[in-house]
Chains A and B, each alone.
Chain A
Amino acid sequence: SQQGEEDPQALSIQEGENATMNCSYKTSINNLQWYRQNSGRGLVHLILIRSNEREKHSGRLRVTLDTSKKSSSLLITASRAADTASYFCATNGNRDDKIIFGKGTRLHILP
């Protein structure tokens, strides 16, 4: 079964607003990553947070990790039309050489 489950499955917000997506997972992890996928394209890595980290920032992105709740959130501040995409969390567990993707959140930024 998939490791990560994103919530919500789909999200539409106005340009300029903040977007928050959540990810829950089931077993212990070494790290958790967030990826973006524009329609019909490959995935682009956004940010990696290790199991001993609680928060990480990259530009307009903020990721939190709560290992006690087995959950992570991705916050995109001041959203732009170009942020319209699907966002996936991916976890790396006991095996070091593969990750498992969640089902993704489809984010739509309205003009």
Chain B
Amino acid sequence: DAMVIQNPRYQVTQFGKPVTLSCSQTLNHNVMYWYQQKSSQAPKLLFHYYDKDFNNEADTPDNFQSRRPNTSFCFLDIRSPGLGDTAMYLCATSRDAASGLETQYFGPGTRLLVL
């Protein structure tokens, strides 16, 4: 049973052509995250939503935007992709826990190639 779904799994786009990646979850978790992971590197947090509250990381480029229209869906928009944006993009969710952060559940990722 899929819990965190990402579409598409693979995306090829041209330099400067906007692209949108989608993530959906069936876990009803409050928190959703977007990570960028380049080859042989650790996942790097871009931003996250705590319910509808958007939290941007200080070093996330303005080129990256996100939308969360409802609990289940979250989108990553790259307005003008550059060659350096070629990476795996991972979506994750976690449940709001009074005692602190709980496990994150990851989707399979979208591999983005910018040509």
Chain A residues near B (Cβ < 8 Å): 2, 30-31, 33, 35, 40-45, 48, 88, 90, 92, 96-104, 106
Contact = CB atoms under 8 A, between A and B. Distances in A.
Contact of A40 (B48, B50, B105, B111): B111
A103 B41 contact: yes
Interface of B: 4, 6, 31, 33, 40-45, 48, 50, 55, 88, 90, 92, 94, 97, 100-109, 111
Given A40-B111, A41-B108, A98-B33, A31 B42 contact: no
Given A42-B6, A98-B48, 14 more contacts: A2-B42, A30-B100, A30-B101, A31-B101, A40-B111, A42-B4, A42-B107, A45-B106, A88-B42, A96-B97, A98-B33, A98-B45, A101-B42, A106-B40
A106 to B, nearest CB: 8
